[in-house]
Amino acid sequence: MTTSASGNVVTVDARDVAVMDQRPLPAGTTNAMVSFQLTWKGGGGRRRLAASTPAFAGQFFRRARARGTFAASEEGFAFASDSRKPARSTFAELGIERNGAFLAAAMQCPRCAAP
């Protein structure tokens, strides 16, 4: 994973990751490999979100988009997206968040503030 210095671009590049493909019929699992390259880009400033139940706080870009390529294979079957035309998101979210025990501890400290 790489992140730009300003945090508005994040890229995840995974190659030949071994996974188990689990299927309902015929029931069972098969060894498989997946590869993907995804890039998220955020813009338009950031918005803050917070909720006390469940404990959550975050800062997210007002606009975000994602693009990527995907491929998978198992014995006798494979598929891949068109690497010349990466898939585009219809919805994407990019930001930072804190939740659960981490946020609760920060909110109890009088010197610490939620993001």
Task: Please compute the mean of the pLDDT values over residues 43-49 and round it to a whole number.
Answer: 92
What is the tens place of the pLDDT at every residue in 67-90?
999 999 998 899 999 989 999 999
How do the domains of the chain map onto residue ranges? 2-46+61-95
Categorize the per-residue pLDDT at 98 as very low, low, confident or very high, splitting at 50, 70 and 90: confident
Q: For residue 2, which of 45, 39, 43 has the smallest C-alpha distance?
A: 39
- What percentage of residues in the chain have a pLDDT greater than 90? 63
Task: Please compute the mean of the pLDDT values over residues 40-66 and round it to a whole number.
Answer: 89
pLDDT at 53: 67
Element (H, E) at 63: strand 56-74
- pTM for this one? 0.73
C-alpha 59: how far from its chain's center?
Answer: 15
Task: Tell me the C-alpha distance between 107 and 115, whole Å.
Answer: 10
**Residue listed under structure tokens 């585009």:** 88
pLDDT at 42: 96
Query: Is the per-residue pLDDT at 108 higher than 70?
Result: no
Query: Is the per-residue pLDDT at 115 higher than 50?
Result: no
pLDDT at 101: 67
